[in-house]
Amino acid sequence: MLKRLVVLVLIVLGFSCKEVEVYPKPEAKLALEYPTPIAHQYKNDRFEFSYNEEALLMPTSKQSFSFYYPKLKASVFMYYLDLSEGIEKRLYDLEQKVADHQKMASEIIMHPFVNPESKSRGALYEIKGNAASQAQFYISDNKDHFIHGALYFKTKPNYDSILPAANYVMEDLKDFMESIRWN
């Protein structure tokens, strides 16, 4: 009985040990396509700017508004602040908000912005890593007006997954900063 069992196991092993060719998986890339931005204009008594039609402009109060990107599940929350307390306080508050993301960020890159034509200055802070916000920015005339904004996604932060969408929105933020005109 034991001999028959050993012979049976050897026969089964002999037929099951065929050489299988293994092929490496092809390199995969996300096939994400984002539409070319088409500009819309917005104007109020303090400023005017253009923005991407993919974003829904949603005024939430006289001091705040947001861009919502339904396809990306992303929002850019913006706050208009006057400079009655001085620009130094506004910049300090902004630096504190950016610093809040340092724990989870792998890197924070500041992209300064100056537009002599509109007398605007600002900076876009690109936040790399699994931080809650992928970008923070401000734009100001350094005299009367100051706008601060932050980009958030309605998802758990996973930098690799949201990076293409974050880059798309950051390009929109650069266009927003370049187009702003103070009234």
User: How does pLDDT run across 113-148, given as a tens digit for each residue?
Assistant: 999 999 999 999 999 999 999 999 999 999 999 999
Q: Choose between 11 and 49: higher pLDDT.
A: 49
Which pLDDT does position 158 carry in this prediction?
87
| 76 pLDDT more than 90 | yes
Which pLDDT does position 92 carry in this prediction?
94
| 151: confidence class by pLDDT, cuts 50, 70, 90 | very high
pTM of the predicted model as reported, rounded to 2 decimal places: 0.81
Domains of the chain and CATH, by start? 40-182 (3.40.1000.10)
Apex CA 88: angle with CA 86 and CA 89, to 5°? 75
Q: Report d(CA 70, CA 41) in Å as an integer.
A: 19
Which pLDDT does position 113 carry in this prediction?
96
User: What is the spatial order of strands in the sheet that 133-140 belongs to?
Assistant: 56-59, 64-69, 74-82, 145-153, 133-140, 120-129, 105-115
- Mark out the alpha helices in 17-157 (DSSP H runs): 87-99
Q: Report d(CA 87, CA 81) in Å as an integer.
A: 10
